[in-house]
Amino acid sequence: MTGLLVVTAVPAEAEAIRAGLTASAAPDGTAPPDVTVLPVGVGPAVAAAATARLLALAEAAGRPYRAVVSAGIAGGFVGRVAVGGTVLADRSVAADLGAESPGGFIPVEDLGMPPELLGGGRIVPADPGLLAGLRAALPGAAGRHHPRCTAYTSMGPG
């Protein structure tokens, strides 16, 4: 297996990560050669399809990635993590995967969808080995471990 694939939603996020890799890289200023950082698009369907394509191409070329990290700029944790801070998620939560009803939101599991058809359900734990490696590589993020909540809808002025 080869390096690490880091996917972001938009190019600005990928550029920021590449800049951080270069800044913390080898003394000669080069980024680690085994890290690929690419924007894959916004939204779960586009991001999943583009990431799957990258993984399939790497596999077909005989250079599969050893891990994938989804990274980017996120909402805040007021009073818990400063702006610009690093958060390592111990699980991903698809917070709005379900349906709205007159009685309120119904999580997809309560609609009868088996978790195995959802890639494990709305809550997917991080790979323990990868998380441990990230904790070691990013000591500034130590002690700040939160779920990564995704929400694909937002409310505007109303």
89-124 per-position pLDDT tens digit: 888 777 777 888 899 888 888 888 877 777 777 778
Please name the residue that has the structure tokens 């390592």.
Answer: 88
Q: How confident is the model at residue 126 (pLDDT cuts 50, 70, 90)?
A: confident
Rounded to whole angstroms, the Cα distance separating 125 from 63 reads 25
pLDDT of residue 150: 58
Instruction: Please say if the pLDDT value at position 138 is more than 80.
Output: no
pLDDT at position 14 over 70:
yes
133: tokens are 């490696």
State residue 154's pLDDT score.
45
Model confidence at 37, pLDDT cuts 50, 70, 90, reads very high
| Ramachandran angles phi, psi of 52, nearest 5° | -60, -40
Lowest-confidence region among 11-25, 35-49, 54-68, 137-151: 137-151
Give the mean pLDDT of the chain: 79
The alpha carbon of residue 30 and the mean position of all alpha carbons in its chain are separated, in whole angstroms, by 24
Share of the chain above pLDDT 90, in %: 25
Measured distance CA(70)–CA(59) in Å, rounded? 19
User: Which pLDDT value is given to residue 2?
Assistant: 76
Q: Are 22 and 30 in contact (CB under 8 A)?
A: yes
Model pLDDT, residue 155: 43
Which of 17-21, 45-49, 50-54 is the least confident region? Answer: 17-21
Pairing of β 88-94 and β 123-125: antiparallel
pLDDT exceeds 50 at position 142: no
Burial level of 70, CB count in 10 A (0-12/13-18/19+)? Answer: middle
Q: Is the pLDDT of residue 27 over 70?
A: no
